[in-house]
Amino acid sequence: MAESESLLETPLGDLHRSLGARMVPFAGYAMPVQYPAGIMAEHLHCRSAAALFDVSHMGQAELVGAQGTQDAAAALERVTPADIRGLKPGRQRYGLLMTPDGGIFDDFMVSNIGDRLALVVNASRKHLDFPLIEQALPAGVSLRPLPDRALLALQGPGVAALMQDLCPALAALSFMGVAQAEIAGIPVLASRSGYTGEDGFEISVAADRAEALAKALLARPGVQPAGLGARDSLRLEAGLCLYGQDIDETTSPVEAALVWSIGKRRRMDWDFPGAERVRQELADGPRRLRVGLRPEGRQPARAHTPIQAADGMPVGEVTSGGFGPSLNGPMAMGYVARPYAGDGTALELLVRGKALPARVVPTPFHPHRYKR
């Protein structure tokens, strides 16, 4: 989308521009890629203090059952292998929407907030995800998209003390806990989660209160704005998948190393879309696996970089790659043929026709620091 007029705006668009953000098209929205401090500074500030991200482009919705949350949970299980019925009130879970042939249609977060389920899906897929879910719903269960909600992510080790001062009820949550509360007098639904590997919160707020909430958070000592650039380098250091790059309709949960998101009960019943492929790959092993890669030297390898064995045989492709500010070096994720997926395996990355040595390494590249 070259024409700015064709891009949607989040409720924080004016605030981003007033803070000097460089705006870029992303998933149909004008989004801040960075502020004057720059991507590296924003990344490192999130790792050391607190960073505020606007993720209002994500899709938010509620799933409501006429007979209660269990009805809604059972309905959602028709399109995901996650254990939704086992999700307790006040808790959140990561899940995958599946295609009938075992590919990943999208990934999402779901929260049990007592009388309903709250969903967050990817911005680039929400126009597909909501119809997929709706077509699977029985009578008495309804999906309500929430386009009038904004979503802010407050991330970093400084967030715990900050939230203790602002809202002790939220500060008391553990990782993947969720609660309705007030921050600076503004009603919110917040989960202790994020996409950076750091402790933090994702905060859903009415669109018309989003700017007031963002300003209140940015006014606190140690909080700085951060854009999509830092968000991407942080999530890659944390070894987290980006839909459309690291996972898509061609990848299975087994290949993507996301089997942990499939509930144990679901693996007994095998009653979810794509179960046949998942079961076969768990039994026989997948053709390829998602792995972490550490290139030697300083040259990063970007998405679509070919991966080859030491003898020059093609074995895979990089899906996400770049420079890790916290690592002070390059990092990448990609898929390689299963015989080459073991930690320590020596491989080569073909960057602009030159073979750069690299090794398979465990992820995350930077330790997670969630509050357990």
The three-class DSSP label of residue 362 is: coil
CB-based contact 87:261 (threshold 8 Å): no
Q: What is the structure's pLDDT at 68?
A: 84
- List all residues 6 or more positions away from 238 whose beta carbon is below 8 Å from its beta carbon: 195, 196, 197, 364, 365, 366, 368
**Of 318, 265, 319, 259, which Cα lies nearest the Cα of 283?**
259
Q: What is the pLDDT of residues 285-340, one digit of tens each?
A: 999 999 999 999 999 999 999 999 999 999 999 999 999 999 999 999 999 999 99
The three-class DSSP label of residue 250 is: coil
CB-based contact 326:230 (threshold 8 Å): no
φ, ψ for residue 183 (rounded to 5)?
-120, 125
Cα 76 to chain centroid distance, Å, stands at 19
The C-alpha atoms of residue 140 and residue 264 are separated, in whole angstroms, by 27
Q: What is the 3-state secondary structure (H, E, C) of 213-226?
A: HHHHHHCCCCEEEC
Q: What is the pLDDT of residues 175-194, one digit of tens each?
A: 999 999 999 999 999 999 99
Q: What is the pLDDT of residues 123-160, one digit of tens each?
A: 999 999 999 999 999 999 999 999 999 999 999 999 99
Query: pTM value?
Result: 0.96
CB-based contact 345:359 (threshold 8 Å): yes
